[in-house]
Chains A and B, each alone.
Chain A
């Protein structure tokens, strides 16, 4: 999932990455909406809120919303910065570092929320900022390694692309194009998993509250561990094959 970069990625790899990260983003967004009354997986709404607060002259809120948007931006910046500056490392490690950061952010929010959160406004503002940073990291990484094909924390662009792609399906010549079919499949997959994550998060949060963030961190850990699992499986199969080869050679000799 994390080993391949840009155009060398297959549709299957993009579906896996898109599905899991969209699921995590949907969960995060709904959990933060219930806990903090703020969206954390996208910033489109925050730009509108920023304009509204400026117009009303609510300067404290203006500052807070600027920080929120900036942290989402910084998450994206840092994610891609780490990827392009980790040339000496393997692709997996370079892509895993931002995911590890996101994992840490989610765990920190879970721990703080569960053990220390006293529901003050300052705490709420900081935790929302933290989650926006985490979602920025995820969005930046996923978009970066998939060459912009996969974006999983917001659905505005995705819904636009889906609308355009489906309209192209009304012509036979476009329906024959395999990459267009793949694109529609990917977009539908991401939107469905985002929604599913949101619904599950809504149900879970009402029962276990901030422990939900540990569950989201576990989902993100799947992205990290999947490639390690694949590598371990490949290694095992390879060693098994070598052993068989040695046995066969021993028998022949």
Chain B
């Protein structure tokens, strides 16, 4: 077996590190962080419910594995979850989130991204908060999941398009 000197080993380590560093720098150069991409105005396009408890679903809304949540259940969830009452979400710099309802009423809240930018944390002025799992975040579309955890067990999926 060929024997390598200490210098050769350190040189190999250095090159390995340089390659890794270059890859990391490239990834940061070609894409913006989620905290930047999320800024702007997002219009709620779709509200879907990934089925876990199929007994609560209304037949005829099936769309492969995803079913549209019946209106009465949507309303029940909207009663419990503040943010779902809003149709337009405006993410502003300085972690300000404006939730605009259809009626024109605006709710102010704070937004934060956690993890590797895959968790959206929303804190309201009254101290209550909500967590969303960001499934997709591009320049055009944002898809977030919300664990409902009530009678309709499962995950609500909200899709937004940038305005």
* Residues in chain B within 8 A of chain A (CB atoms): 20, 23-28, 30-35, 95, 112-119, 121, 136
Contact = CB atoms under 8 A, between A and B. Distances in A.
Contacts of B25: 63
Interface string A55-73: 0101111111111001000
A68 to B, nearest CB: 8
Given A70-B20, A121-B33, A121-B35, A60 B115 contact: no
A60 B113 contact: no
Contacts, number: 65
A164 interface: no
Contact of B116 (A64, A70, A119): A64
Contacts of B112: 119-121
Nearest to B25: A63
Q: How large is the interface on A (under 10, 10 to 19, 20 to 34, 35 or more residues)?
A: 20 to 34
A38 interface: yes
Contacts of B115: 36-38, 124, 128
A167 to B, nearest CB: 35
- Per DSSP, chain A at the interface is helix
A209 interface: no
Interface string A31-61: 0000011100000000001000100101111
A208 B66 CA distance: 41
A68 B79 CA distance: 40
A62 B118 CA distance: 12
B23 A63 contact: yes
A168 B114 CA distance: 44
A62 B117 CA distance: 11
Contacts of A170: none
Contacts of A248: none
Given A37-B118, A60-B33, A121 B113 contact: yes
